[in-house]
Amino acid sequence: MGYSIILDRDQDGRRIDHAIKSIWPELPLSLIMKALRKGEVRLDAKKVREPGTKIFAGQELYTPWPRDLNLNNYNKNNNKNLNILWQGEGAIIINKPAGLLVQPDTKDGDSVITRLWSMLNINNNNLFKPAAVHRLDRNTTGVLAAALHGDSLRELEKLFKAHSIKKIYRAVVTGRAPDFIEINAPLIKDAELNLVKVANNLTHDLNPDVKTAKSLCKLIKYDAQKNISLVEIELLTGRTHQARVHMAHINHAIIGDRKYGDFKANKIFNKVKRPLLHAYKLIFPELNNKAVSELSNKTFQAELPEDFILF
């Protein structure tokens, strides 16, 4: 037995394959594509075969799968609370703890998002499930934005992609950092090793995998006895591991960073179990779009976690 629904604002303007995947996240993409090819998916009683077809609020969507298709209980064992900094109608701001993925890496895995679903009682009856708008590494703490509706998700994703939202981090690094420095060092990622490095003497023309990466860093405090600095880093671009690689590039590696850090410093501060990197602030510009206007000109700040006790 199939299932028929009237699409709401959360699905307005989306691709039909993305909408189906959000309603039945456990469905393999191959099955969704197969149903589309066979004409088993309909919009307003008309067969839809193109996965990129745009859908709109008010249309009737029919699929061959029952609504109560077993999700294998995504919320199982994910009833731990999150530190909520702010919640509005379309978005929620979370203070992410260390050691927690933003998205689950296994079907029943613990993550910020599965905990959020549990806290908000999100279940099979919800056509849209809250989603993170950007990413933080597993061991990075601090301010994380998630969308509660489809229209706010799409608008916030545009804002982050356009770098309209300021992302301010704090980190503990080796040595006495410069009072202020602009770091303009393009990055290239080795996907197999999940390793990022500065692409010296490479340009986009020579290698399309090279990505522009710019950061601003200023000194907050220097501890001469420990020879470490507390710095504030603004990411002008949003590349994978950007803050960690850029700080290592200027010889002020983040304490506790086993991948890009300073071996000798990490040995001295061996009680530090993660890179001391914290998403300190998100600063939103003036926003006129109705879906995100509640965030207009707002700044969200997460105080430094306990393991920043070095300062």
Residue in this structure with the two tokens 């590039």, named with its chain if needed: 249
Using pLDDT thresholds of 50, 70 and 90, give the confidence band for residue 205: low
pLDDT of residue 208: 73
Can you give the CATH number for the domain in which 266 is found? 3.30.2350.10
Do 194 and 248 lie in one domain? The reply is: yes
Do 180 and 267 lie in one domain? The reply is: yes
Distance set, CA 306 to CA 17, 144, 276 (Å) = 43, 18, 11
When divided into structural domains, the chain yields a total of 3
CA 166-169-172 angle, 5° bins: 165
- What six digits make up the tokens of 202? 């490479």
Segments forming the whole domain that contains residue 195: 167-280
Of 163, 196, 213, the residue that ends a domain is: 163
Look at residues 207, 51, 219, 137 and name the one whose alpha carbon lies nearest to residue 198: 207
pLDDT of residue 48: 92
Q: What is the pLDDT of residues 113-154, one digit of tens each?
A: 999 998 888 876 778 889 999 999 999 999 999 999 999 999
Q: What is the pLDDT of residues 24-56, one digit of tens each?
A: 877 778 788 888 988 999 999 899 999 999 999
Q: In this structure, is residue 291 part of a structural domain?
A: no
Give the H or E element holding residue 149.
none
Strand partners, 211: 187
Pair 248, 257: CB distance under 8 Å: yes
